Amino acid sequence: IPYSFSDRDLLDDRSFVAGVWQEKADGSNTFSVEDPSDQKILAYVVDSSLDDYKSAIEVAHEAFGTYKKLTPKARSQLLRKWSQQVLESRDDLAALCTLELGKTFKESLAAVSYAASCLNWFANLAEEGCGGETIPNSNGRGKTVILTIRQPVGVVCAITPWNSPYSGVIKKIAPALAVGCTVVHKPAPETPLCAIALAKTFERAGFSPGVYNMLTTSSERAAEIGDLFSSHPLVRHVTFTGSTGVGKFLAERCGANLKKVTMELGGNAPFLVFADADLDQAVESLLACKFTSAGQVCIYANRILLETSIHDQFVSKLLKAIKDNIRLGSPWAETTTLGPLYSAKGAEKIQRLLKDAVGKGAKLVTSDVYEYGSSYYPPSVLIDVKPDMQITREEIFGPLISISTFDTEDEGIMFANNVKSGLAGYVFTENVSRLFRVSEYLEVGMVGARTGSISAIEMPFGGIKDSGLGREGSRHALEEYTELKAITLAL
């Protein structure tokens, strides 16, 4: 690869438990990690067992006893040091992200900087802490007063996907650590090297052992680990980002055992463009929320809904913008704006959705075609998409733009809401009443009103319907990892 690591200590193949990199026993199981750009094997990392996870949960529980007693200021300083460590290793962390995920190096650098800024944001919030209220007693005014305090829940177990291996992990771990919880983390099997390197930066920040434990695990073992997290008596909260099917399974198990959950599940974002929109702005926004990270982001636009009268004009502007701006190529090249997908599996899924749509009457209006078996998927635009096509119901998760039309505002909203998920939605119109009205009617947790770029750590991130439970980012994230306690005080 065209990169040489400056800090080889970040490269490892082991799990991090109780502040120690676990020695590999002879004959211990491993699994392989692939570079999606050429599908060569990059490394073999340890496949942690169920017993390893059980010990990690016990370690985290023990660490909780002392970590929760640190002052908010001390926790804040540790998080800030972690942020500095991430920034110090920025280039090496970015290179690992490009290697494992195929994300362009330029985007990977920005992703690492963003992860460091998220840590700083939570460092600030940690210092403010999570306050309570004073509630006057309605009967015995003058005799008692009710106080509420927020306390850390205890051991938090986190399961994360491959598509955001730094900020996606930080958004779960940092708020938990900010309020005084301790964490056991199972990263995605596709991006263990990023998780290992991030844990190395954690180690250098100076937290006490056992506060954060990270165990690499193959996909074959994911289900049994999920089962353990949702049933182990010492685990108080399971935070998961991934597919809706797995999320429902985990939430059901956690429900049976009365564990708290945060579920960030799949999206199917509508992107509504009305005839009175600024079309250039809408096209530019669509490029941002379709081609960054090769479109592999759960809040990105999945269904483009255009008011019929501007369809042709919008499509021709879009095709020109793609031709002018999108360059498919090696993720290491400066000029590349669209790298490979995380795996050929991702590209093959898009191809399946494309074939189904074309078979039912949709038209591909771009000329580059996908070469079967490759992880590289060309920027593509599909028009005449109808509700009976699979592509309207599944997440595309890649650089294929799927376009349908609507005739009235009510019809546009109806099409937008006619799906099971409700993560993000986008609306473009220059009529401010309509902009707000449609934003209100969209059945989603997050709206981009005249913008396609909504990612920000200060925004409450999360979905409704099949897209999940709870919120990440913003100060609401801290509440997720706390319990409310009421104290009635006799005066």
The DSSP symbol for 162 reads S
Shortest gap between Cβ of 447 and ligand ADP (angstroms)?
23
Reference 340, options 169, 118, 160, 104; nearest CA is 104
Distances (CA, A) of 265 to 80, 322, 422: 29, 29, 9
Closer to ligand ADP by CB, 154 or 189: give it. Answer: 189
First to last CA, the chain: 70
Tell me whether residue 264 is one of the annotated catalytic residues: yes
Task: Give the position of tokens 């009365």.
Answer: 258
Look up residue 160 and give its two tokens: 């994360």
Nearest residue by C-beta to ligand ADP? 226
Using a 10 angstrom Cβ sphere, with 0-12 exposed, 13-18 middle and 19 or more buried, the burial of residue 68 is middle
Q: Which one is catalytic: 264, 307, 472, 480?
A: 264
Shortest gap between Cβ of 340 and ligand ADP (angstroms)?
16
Closer to ligand ADP by CB, 31 or 114: give it. Answer: 31
Closer to ligand ADP by CB, 79 or 238: give it. Answer: 238
Shortest gap between Cβ of 161 and ligand ADP (angstroms)?
4
Q: Which residues here bind ligand ADP, judged by CB under 6 A?
A: 159-161, 186, 188-189, 219, 222-223, 225-226, 242-243, 246, 249-250
Closer to ligand ADP by CB, 180 or 339: give it. Answer: 339
Asked whether 189 and 43 are in contact (CB, 8 A), the reply is no
Closer to ligand ADP by CB, 81 or 221: give it. Answer: 221
Torsion of CA 289, 290, 292, 298, to 10 degrees: 70
Asked whether 279 and 285 are in contact (CB, 8 A), the reply is no
Closer to ligand ADP by CB, 144 or 219: give it. Answer: 219
Look up residue 177 and give its two tokens: 């650590």
Shortest gap between Cβ of 151 and ligand ADP (angstroms)?
27
Amino acid at the residue 51? D
Shortest gap between Cβ of 244 and ligand ADP (angstroms)?
8
Distances (CA, A) of 278 to 316, 430, 450: 15, 7, 9
Distance CA(267)–CA(104), nearest Å, equals: 23
Shortest gap between Cβ of 366 and ligand ADP (angstroms)?
26
The DSSP symbol for 472 reads B
Residues annotated as catalytic are: 264
